[in-house]
Homo-oligomer: A and B are copies of this chain.
Amino acid sequence: MQADFTRLQNFVASVFESIGVPENQAQLAAEVLVSADARGIDSHGVARLAGYVRLFDHGRLNPNPKIKIIHESPSTAVIDGDKGLGLVVAPYAMEIACEKAEKAGTGWIAVRNSNHFGIAGYHAMKALEHQMIGWAMTHAAPLVTPTFSREKLLGTNPVAMAIPALTEPPFVADFASTAVAYGKLEILQRKGLNTPDGWVQDADGNPCNDAFAIKNGGALLPLGGDREHGSHKGYALGAMVDILSGVLSGANFGPWVPPFATAGFMSAGETVGIGTGHFLGAMRIDAFRPADEFRQDMDKWIQRFRSAQAVEGKKVIIPGDPERELEVERKANGIPLLEPVVADLQALANRFNVPFKLA
């Protein structure tokens, strides 16, 4: 199905309202969630809506949280999300990051007691509205093995950074610290195909090509794949994200990060902190350089990289280019939804008696 962008967003907001999320927060959560679909990161969009509702069903999601600042300094704060939607908690935290940056030059917010926050890139890009550089990271439930480990101790732990230019569109990096996203395995599973080398390992820690590796006790590999190709670097990066999101905020960390509500992973299990954590930041450009000079130089950076001599038949891309282009296209022409996702959404429409007309 090809869903209309605005109808889809309104539908998502209605579902969130149906579980008790206040209207303005439901609108915001829908905007964050559907931005993933618009930008082509379909695994983090409306495909997860039923999961958020399951979190609510199991008492792990507070639809109307009292988000609080627990502690702060001129350039930092820790925020307790009161078990709220990460889709709402993270934008709240990002606003505080930008306020801090306005006064202190930078603002850095560690968040605890939150839930999955959608795509990291959305939150980093909020800083662009203030002409600032934005950072967003989050940890997630363990699917990834450190180098030489058989145990899954880290999530796909993404890092996003958004940097404004002048006439060029912004630089927007948003990437998991793994060789591939879990969503790429799901695509191969549906097609009955094996993975390339360097994506996954089996339950004994041996390299394998099984698209169902995780279900079979295996794991995703850190960026780099194996030691010879730098997996210890991907492991270190994922660890940094985990420590900033989890240990610095007082959330859970490592293997104790609570799972998202997918079938068979409902319990939060043993805890060493409070809920899921994120780490968000904003940097005011003129706390470093006159903003116009910086933005002109970013134009020069972007133009030089985009015009690089490319491998035959390819072109060099600026981080954020493909997602931005897709967003324009999908907002105009609709968002493709897979059958099982449509069925999930239909079930939610039935349950909450919400009108279901997306096309």
Segment at the B interface, from A13-21, A148-156, A336-344? A148-156
Q: Which of A302-348 contact B (CB under 8 A)?
A: 304-305, 308-312, 314-317, 319
Interface centre among A176, A196, A239 (most CB of B within 10 A): A239
Query: Is chain A's interface secondary structure helix, strand, loop, or mixed overall?
Result: mixed
Q: Establish whether residues A311 and B150, one from each chain, have CB atoms under 8 Å apart when the complex forms.
A: yes
Kindly supply a per-residue 1/0 record for chain A positions 229-269, scoring 1 wherever the CB is within 8 Å of any chain B CB and 0 otherwise: 11011111101101100011110011100000000000000
How many residues of chain A get a CB closer than 8 Å to chain B's CBs? 87
Q: Is A120 among interface residues, defined by CB-CB distance under 8 A? A: no
Q: Is A63 among interface residues, defined by CB-CB distance under 8 A? A: no
Q: Which of A260-319 contact B (CB under 8 A)?
A: 272-273, 283-285, 287-289, 293-294, 297-298, 300-301, 304-305, 308-312, 314-317, 319
Q: Establish whether residues B289 and A248, one from each chain, have CB atoms under 8 Å apart when the complex forms.
A: yes
Q: How far is the CB of A230 from chain B (nearest CB, A)?
A: 5
Known: A108-B106, A171-B243, A301-B254. A150 touches B310 (CB 8 A): yes
Q: Which residue of B lies closest to A300 (CB)?
A: B272
Q: How far is the CA of A293 from the CA of B253 in the complex (A)?
A: 14
Known: A75-B74, A103-B74, A171-B243. A305 touches B223 (CB 8 A): no
Q: Establish whether residues B230 and A180, one from each chain, have CB atoms under 8 Å apart when the complex forms.
A: yes
Q: Which residue of B lies closest to A178 (CB)?
A: B230
Q: Establish whether residues A236 and B148, one from each chain, have CB atoms under 8 Å apart when the complex forms.
A: no
Say which residue of B106, B146, B224, B293 sits within 8 Å of A179 (CB atoms): B224
Q: Is A91 among interface residues, defined by CB-CB distance under 8 A? A: no
Q: Which residues of B contact A46 (CB under 8 A)?
A: none
Q: Which residues of B contact A147 (CB under 8 A)?
A: 316-317
Known: A175-B233, A254-B304. A105 touches B73 (CB 8 A): yes
Q: Which residues of B contact A73 (CB under 8 A)?
A: 104-106, 284, 287
Q: How far is the CA of A273 from the CA of B242 in the complex (A)?
A: 35
Q: Is A38 among interface residues, defined by CB-CB distance under 8 A? A: no
Q: How far is the CA of A282 from the CA of B327 in the complex (A)?
A: 36
Q: Which of A104-136 contact B (CB under 8 A)?
A: 104-106, 108, 110, 133
Q: Is A198 among interface residues, defined by CB-CB distance under 8 A? A: yes
Q: How far is the CA of A287 from the CA of B106 in the complex (A)?
A: 13
Q: How far is the CB of A15 from chain B (nearest CB, A)?
A: 33
Q: Is A36 among interface residues, defined by CB-CB distance under 8 A? A: no
Q: Which residues of B contact A229 (CB under 8 A)?
A: 179-180, 196, 198-199, 225, 229
Q: How far is the CA of A313 from the CA of B205 in the complex (A)?
A: 11
Q: Is A78 among interface residues, defined by CB-CB distance under 8 A? A: yes
Q: How far is the CB of A18 from chain B (nearest CB, A)?
A: 36
Q: Which residue of B lies closest to A107 (CB)?
A: B75
Q: Can you name 19 A-B residue pairings with CB atoms under 8 Å?
A: A72-B287, A76-B287, A76-B288, A105-B108, A110-B288, A146-B305, A150-B310, A153-B305, A159-B237, A171-B239, A175-B230, A175-B233, A179-B224, A180-B229, A223-B224, A225-B225, A239-B305, A248-B288, A253-B301
Other than the known A78-B288, A196-B229, what 20 A-B pairs have Cβ atoms closer than 8 Å? A72-B105, A74-B74, A75-B104, A75-B106, A75-B287, A106-B108, A108-B283, A146-B316, A147-B317, A149-B311, A171-B239, A176-B233, A179-B224, A179-B230, A196-B228, A205-B310, A247-B298, A250-B293, A250-B297, A272-B300
